[in-house]
Structure 1
Amino acid sequence: MALTDARALFQNLEVATAAPAEDQRLLGQLADWCHRYSPLVAFDPPHGIVLDVTGCDHLFGGLEAMLRDVVTRLRKYGFAVKAAISGNAAAARALARFSRGGVFSDVGDDSILRLPLVALEIEETSLVGLKRAGLRELGDVAALPRAALTARFGEAVVNRLDALFGRAARPVSPLRMVPVSTAQRRMAEPLIAMEAVEMLLRQLGDELFSSLEERGEGAREIEAAFFRVDGQVRRIAVQAGRPLVETAPFFRLIGERLSALSEPLDAGYGFDAVQLAALRVERVVHRQTSLDVRRETASGIGALVDRLSARLGPARVQRSLAVDSHIPERAFSMMPAIHQTADEALARPRFASDGYRTVGDPPARPIRLFQPPQRIEAVAGLPDGPPMQFRWRRVLHEVALAEGPERIAPEWWRDNLDARARDYYRIEDNAGRRFWIFREGLYGRDHAPQWFLHGLFA
Structure 2
Amino acid sequence: MDAHPDAPPVVVTDTIKNAIRITALDQRARNSGVRLNQSLSDARALVPDLDCHPADGARNRALLLKIAGWCERYTPLVALDAAPEAEGNHGLFMDITGCAHLLGGEAGLVSDLEARLRAQGFHARLCLADTPGAAWAMARYGQARIIAEGAHAEAILPLSLSGLRLPPAMVASLGRVGLKTIGCIAGLPRAPLAARFGARLMQRLDQALGRETEAISPIMPVAELSTERRFAEPLTHHDEISHVTAALAEGIIEPLERRGLGLRHGRLKLFRVDGHVSELDVQTARPLRDAPLIRRLFAERIAGLHDDLDAGFGFDLVRLDVVHADPFDAAQAEMMAGHSAGQGQDALVDRLGARLGLERVQRFVLADTHIPERSFGRQPVAHLGAASARQAAGNAVLALTPEIDLPAGIVTRPLILFDRPELMQTIAEVPDGPPLKFRWRGVAYEVNRSEGPERIACEWWLDGRGARTRDYFRVEDRQGYRFWMFRHGLYGRETSDPAWYMHGLFA
Q: What TM-score comes out, normalization by structure 1 length?
A: 0.88
Aligned residue in 1 for 2:119: 76
Please say which structure displays the higher CA radius of gyration: 2
Q: Does 1:54 align with 2:97?
A: yes
Secondary structure of the structure 2 residue equivalent to 1:150: helix
Which residue of structure 1 aligns with residue 31 of structure 2?
Answer: none
Q: Distance between the aligned counterparts of 1:152 and 1:93, measured in 2?
A: 25
Aligned-pair CA distance for 1:107: 7.6
Tell me how far apart the structure 1 counterparts of residues 136 and 157 of structure 2 sit (CA, whole Å).
14
1:19 aligns with 2:64: no
Q: 1:199 to 1:391 in 2, by over 3 A?
A: same
Distance in 2 (alpha carbons) for counterparts of 1:97 and 1:426: 82
Partners of 2:213 and 2:450 lie apart in 1 by: 75
Tell me the residue number matched to 1:450: 499
Q: How many Å separate the matches in 2 of 1:427 and 1:69?
A: 79
Match of 1:85 among 125, 128, 131: 128
1:152-176 deviations in Å (ceiling 9; x for gaps): 1122222323333345444333332
- Report what 1:37 is aligned to: 74
Deviations 1:371-397 (A, max 9, x none): 333222333333333433333211233
- 1:291 shift after superposition: 6.0
Q: Structure 2 counterpart of 1:69, which letter?
A: D
Matches within 5 A, 1:29-428: 29-44=66-81, 46-104=89-147, 105-106=149-150, 109-290=153-334, 298-348=342-392, 350=395, 360-361=405-406, 364-399=412-447, 400-412=449-461, 414=462, 416=464, 419-428=467-476
Q: Which amino acid aligns with 1:333?
A: G
Higher relative contact order, chain-length normalized (CA < 8 Å, sep 6+) = 1
Q: CA deviation at 1:185?
A: 0.6
Given that 1:437 and 1:454 are in contact with CA atoms closer than 8 Å, whether structure 2 keeps it comes out as yes
Instruction: Tell me by how many angstroms 1:108 deviates.
Output: 5.5
Specify every segment of 5 or more residues in structure 2 that has no aligned partner in the other structure, as ranges: 1-20, 22-38, 83-88
C-alpha RMSD of the superposition = 3.0
Query: What CA distance in whole angstroms lies between the structure 2 residues aligned with 1:320 and 1:209?
Result: 33
Q: Give per-residue Cα distances to partners, 1:87-108, cap 9 Å, x unaligned.
A: 3434433332332353343385
Q: Does 1:437 align with 2:485?
A: yes
Alignment partners' CA distance in 2, 1:422 and 1:54: 69
User: Which piece of structure 1 moves more, 63-72 or 203-212?
Assistant: 63-72
Residues 146 and 390 (structure 1), Cα distance of their counterparts in 2 relative to 1, 3 Å cut:
farther
In terms of mean alpha carbon deviation, does 57-66 or 337-346 score higher? 337-346
> Partner amino acid for 1:243?
P
Aligned-pair CA distance for 1:296? 5.2
- For 2:323 and 2:298, the matched residues in 1 are separated by 15
Counterpart CA distance in 1 for 2:213 and 2:471 is: 64
Tell me, what secondary structure is at the counterpart of 2:72? helix
Instruction: Name the SS of the counterpart of 2:64 in structure 1.
Output: helix
2:346 partner amino acid: G
Could you say if the C-alpha distance between residues 369 and 41 of structure 1 is closer, same or farther in structure 2, counting changes exceeding 3 Å? farther
Q: Deviations over 1:242-289 (max 9, x none)?
A: 222121111222222222221112222111001111112111122323
Query: Please, which moves more after superposition, 41-50 or 266-275?
Result: 41-50
Q: How many residues align?
A: 453
Distance 1:297 1:387 in 2: 49
How far apart, CA to CA, are the structure 2 residues paired with 1:161 and 1:322? 61
Partner SS, residue 348 of structure 1 = helix
Q: Does the C-alpha gap of structure 1 residues 384 and 50 become closer, same or farther in structure 2, counting only changes over 3 Å?
A: farther
Contact persistence 2:371–2:456 (CA under 8 A): no
1:406-437 deviations in whole A, cap 9, x for unaligned?
A: 3132241x474654443334444444434333
Task: Give me the whole-angstrom Cα distance separating, in 2, the residues matched to 1:346 and 1:380.
Answer: 42
Which amino acid is 2:136 matched to?
R
**Secondary structure, aligned partner of 1:254:** helix
SS at match of 1:16: strand
Give how far 1:118 is off: 1.0
Give the % identical residues: 40
* Structure 2 residue identity aligned to 1:81: A
Q: Deviations over 1:327-381 (max 9, x none)?
A: 4333333232244333333233649x98xx9962386444443333322233333
**Structure-2 change in CA distance of 1:78 and 1:402 (3 Å):** same
For residues 306 and 235 of structure 1, the distance between their equivalents in structure 2, rounded to whole angstroms, comes to: 18
Per-residue CA deviation, residues 113-166 of structure 1 (Å, 9 max, x unaligned), is 333111233333322221122212223223233322222112222232333334
Give the Cα separation in 2 of the matches to 1:12 and 1:126: 36
Once residues 95 and 434 of structure 1 are traced to their aligned partners in structure 2, the CA distance between those partners, rounded to angstroms, is: 84
Deviations 1:279-324 (A, max 9, x none): 121111223231699x955221111111222223324321123333
Shift of 1:3: 4.0
CA contact 1:377–1:391 (8 Å) conserved in 2: yes
Partner-residue secondary structure (3-state), 1:268? coil
Q: Tell me what 2:29 maps to.
A: none
